[in-house]
Structure 1
Amino acid sequence: MLDYTFTEEQELLRTTVREFCNREIKPRIKEMIKNRRIPSEIIKGMGELGILGMTIPEKYGGPGYDAVTVGIVAEEIGRSDPTVSIPVFFLVDNAWSYLISKYGSEKLKNEYLPDVAKGRKIIGIASTEPNFGSDVASMTTVAKKNSRGYVVNGEKSYISLVRDIKEMGGGYVTVTKTAPEKPGTSGTSLIFLPYSQEHFDITYLEEMGREGSSWGAFRIKDYEVPEHYLIGKENEGFKIIHEGFEFARALISVISAGTALESINRGIDYMKQRVAFGKSLTKFQGLQFQVADNVAKMETALDMGYRALWVYEQEQKYHKFTRFQVSKEIAKAKLLSTTWGFDAVNDALQWQGAFGYSTDCPEEYSLRGIRSFQLAEGSREIMKQIIARESIGKEFI
């Protein structure tokens, strides 16, 4: 029989994080939107609470939590920030610091992970380029090896946390070609690139939503980094990059579900207060059925997200599932949570009439924020391809 209960420690952590969110995040959403940045006090508080770099082992100053526990925190932050700006900061930092903690050299881990665990530095991901997103084989960024390490040249675009990493320090798990003569994704490596004012030429981009998050592009020119900044083995980056993407996708699943469930709750509260044609909006069966559909979908999506995180953890630590099984579980969760989540927020906005269309309504910016998750860390179309490949069989596609 399956046990879906959380441990006492996990429930205690959830309560602690929820109190932090209610105290520090929710009252400052409007400030964050106005200033278009996450207040530094929130990031500092998250670091003090130990919820940045949550999977970092105790050896490097972190708490060493499992993926499901990280998901609990992600859900609570998703519920507290309708713009999903802080959830983006959280999931990027946690997913990619995990990859360094698993595959990074001892020297790299000792250099960066203790500061990441305390929220003093940030780890990001630099994969997308102007001419490709999911098609890694089309990458043009190249790292040439020399006697001291690697010299990196290239361009990355639509990268999260560019301002945050510039201001706070840290760097990027960067996808690059180390053997460009090899076909397809072979010859791809992961190299950590610390932010350097000398070697990063940054352009800031403005997002449709996620007002507190920073987003941009940068060119890297003749950036020489030591050999111990290689993550995993040379020319085998494609094999491990998806472990980071899959962790991020699973976190997006629970964030999207949590965000949408909060929108549903706000929509219900509005309907309880609003009277039309002499009766409360909650008396109209059409709206009741919309509530029922959305609650059923989003609670299912939340369960799928936690299952995806559990499967991921079981494969990472105990090899109980294959990589392809993990990919399918996570793709299902991300596809449905982001698709259903957008629809649920849109319905909650509709229930609130003209107010829903105003910038005073959280659903107005939640709708734009959650829409980003249908693209981030793998589009809906890529999720469908993964599910189809594992359902039909790769040899038949």
Structure 2
Amino acid sequence: MLSFEFSEDQELLRSSVREFCTRTIAPRIRDMIRERRIPKEVYDGLARMGLLGMTVPQEYGGMGADAVTTGIAAEEIARADPTCSIPVLFLVDNAWSYLVSKYGSSELRESILPDVARGKKIVGIASTEPNFGSDIASMRTTATLQDGMYVVNGEKSFISLVRDVKEIGGGFVTVTKTSPDKGSRGVTLLFIPYSDGMSVRYLEEMGREGSSWGAITFENVRVQKENVIGSVDQGFKIIHEGFEFARALIAVISAATALKSISNGAEYMKSRIAFGSPIAKFQGLQFQLADDVARMEAALTMGYRALWTYDQEQRHGKFSRFQVSREVAIAKLISTTWAFEAINDAMQWQGAYGYSKDCPEEWALRGIRSFLLAEGSREVMKTIIARETLGREYIR
């Protein structure tokens, strides 16, 4: 029997996160945009509430939250921050610290996870390279075992949270080649703590003003063997578990952001008078509004379905990895695509104000645009859906 209810504990979490977002996040968004960084009060509040370490197991000081529960917090944060900056911090830290908690060595878990749970360190992801995005097998960053340590050389680009990790502490789940001649079978994930041996170059994003973005160059950076995540040369098999968690969270975040924009646009329709009546009375706009509401409510449901499917596979061994990949890809594809369209509609309803830098929908449109690329592009999502529908033999 299907159930669309959240548990009492989940609803209590939603209520507390919503109160925090209303009190602490929403009033500081304009300051964040101006200063181009997440306000300290917001970061400290997220850490104090345990939201930056939700997925960290309880034995290391975290909540040990499942994917659906994590999604609830992501939804509320997204409704409060239309720029998508704080949601990026939240989803990246939680998705990739989860992968560390599942596949990291005991030494690695002890060294990083308690601090993540307290907000003292951040776990990021470093996979994209200047000429390679989703094609992990073609990446060129290498990790060579020398004198009992891995020596890493290469460059990662378009990496989220580079400044945050540098200033607060932590490191990156980094995709490396340990057996370059083996293609995807020679990929190893290493957790690389930020160090002075890493050169960081900052990049400027189209949106997400509070979230830092940049490139990292590794030049003979030495990493302990205990920092291998999973097994050597097996990184390609497990990295998708992190991507799928992040993608499902993006689906929920995108839907929540769009629904907030639709609400803002609807309120504007009621107050804007044109040709003697509120524009909310114009049937053409009503039909557009109805389409956007229906799509984004459906997308939100699909986002939670993807998170639930992920939980069932990770915690209970139900569903295959490929089934999870399909559900997540569907959710991310429709949510990000429809969210961009719905936010654009909400901007249009608000006329010239919608085009101004003071309009939250202008912020949201630029922020959501990143999710059509982040953690796997729209084209990659379509390829996954086609592969799992037609069969692998029909995909080049």
* TM-score strictly above 0.5: yes
TM-score w.r.t. structure 2 length?
A: 0.99
In structure 1, distance between residues paired with 2:224 and 2:201? 26
Q: CA deviation at 1:396?
A: 2.6
Question: Residue 196 in 1 paired to residue 198 in 2?
Answer: no
Output one character per residue of 1:310-360: Cα deviation in whole Å (capped at 9) or x when no partner.
000000111110000000000000000000000000000000000001111
User: Which residue of structure 2 lines up, in the alignment, with residue 309 of structure 1?
Assistant: 307
The question of 1:30 aligning with 2:30 is answered yes
Distance in 1, Cα, partners of 2:337 & 2:264:
19
| Paired residues for 1:1-397 under 5 Å | 1-182=1-182, 184-197=183-196, 199-397=197-395
Identity of aligned residues (%): 67
Deviation at 1:172, TM superposition (A): 0.2
Distance 2:374 2:51 in 1: 22
The answer to which of 140-149 and 252-261 deviates more is 140-149
Secondary structure of residue in 2 paired with 1:329 = helix
- Structure 1's consecutive aligned runs of 4 or more residues displaced over 3 angstroms after TM superposition are none
CA drift at 1:206: 0.2
How far is 1:153 from its partner? 0.6
Which amino acid letter does the alignment assign opposite residue 80 of structure 1? A
Helix, strand or coil: the match of 2:9?
Answer: helix
- In the TM superposition, what is the alpha-carbon distance from 1:15 to its structure 2 partner? 0.4
Rounded to whole Å, the distance in 1 between the matches of 2:115 and 2:102 is: 17
Q: Deviations over 1:258-302 (max 9, x none)?
A: 000000000001011111000111100000001100000000000
Cα offset, 1:148, TM superposition: 2.0
Q: Distance in 2 between matches of 1:254 and 1:77?
A: 11
Tell me how far apart the structure 2 counterparts of residues 149 and 109 of structure 1 sit (CA, whole Å).
18
TM-superposed CA distance for 1:171, in Å, is 0.1
Alignment-mate amino acid for residue 348 of structure 1: A
Where 2:152 maps in the other structure, the secondary structure is strand
- Give the 3-state SS of the residue equivalent to 1:185 in structure 2: helix
Equivalent position amino acid for 2:388 in 1: E
Q: What letter corresponds to residue 260 of structure 1 in structure 2?
A: A
**1:65 shift after superposition:** 0.7
- What SS does the aligned partner of 1:296 have? helix
Q: Secondary structure at the match of 1:181?
A: helix
Question: Partners of 2:147 and 2:240 in 1: how far apart?
Answer: 29
The TM-score, its normalising length taken from structure 1, stands at 0.99
Letter in 2 for 1:200: M
Provide the C-alpha distance between the structure 1 equivalents of 2:256 and 2:262, rounded to a whole number of angstroms: 10
Give the superposition deviation at 1:137: 1.7
Distance across 1 between alignment mates of 2:181 and 2:337:
39
Give the CA deviation at 1:62.
0.5
SS in 1 for 2:184: coil
Q: Secondary structure at the match of 1:52?
A: helix
Q: Distance in 1 between matches of 2:16 and 2:137?
A: 44
Structure 2 distance, partners of 1:194, 1:101, is 15
One-letter amino acid of the counterpart of residue 86, structure 2: I
Cα distance in 1 between the residues matched to 2:236 and 2:230? 10
Q: Which runs of 5+ in 1 are unaligned?
A: none
Supply the distance in 1 between the matched residues of 2:253 and 2:235 (Cα, whole angstroms).
27
Q: Provide the C-alpha distance between the structure 1 equivalents of 2:30 and 2:311, rounded to a whole number of angstroms.
A: 36
Aligned-partner Cα distance in 1 for 2:188–2:223: 14
1:40 deviation in Å?
A: 1.3
Distance in 1 (alpha carbons) for counterparts of 2:295 and 2:2: 21
**Deviation (angstroms), 1:369:** 0.3
Structure 2 SS opposite 1:225: strand
The DSSP-based 3-state class of the residue aligned with 2:215 is: strand
1:221 is paired with a residue whose SS is: strand
In 1, Cα distance between the equivalents of 2:266 and 2:41?
32
Note the C-alpha offset of 1:146.
2.3
Q: Provide the rounded CA distance (Å) in 2 between the counterparts of 1:341 and 1:99.
A: 28
CA distance in 1, matches of 2:210, 2:63: 27
Report SS of the residue matched to 2:51: coil
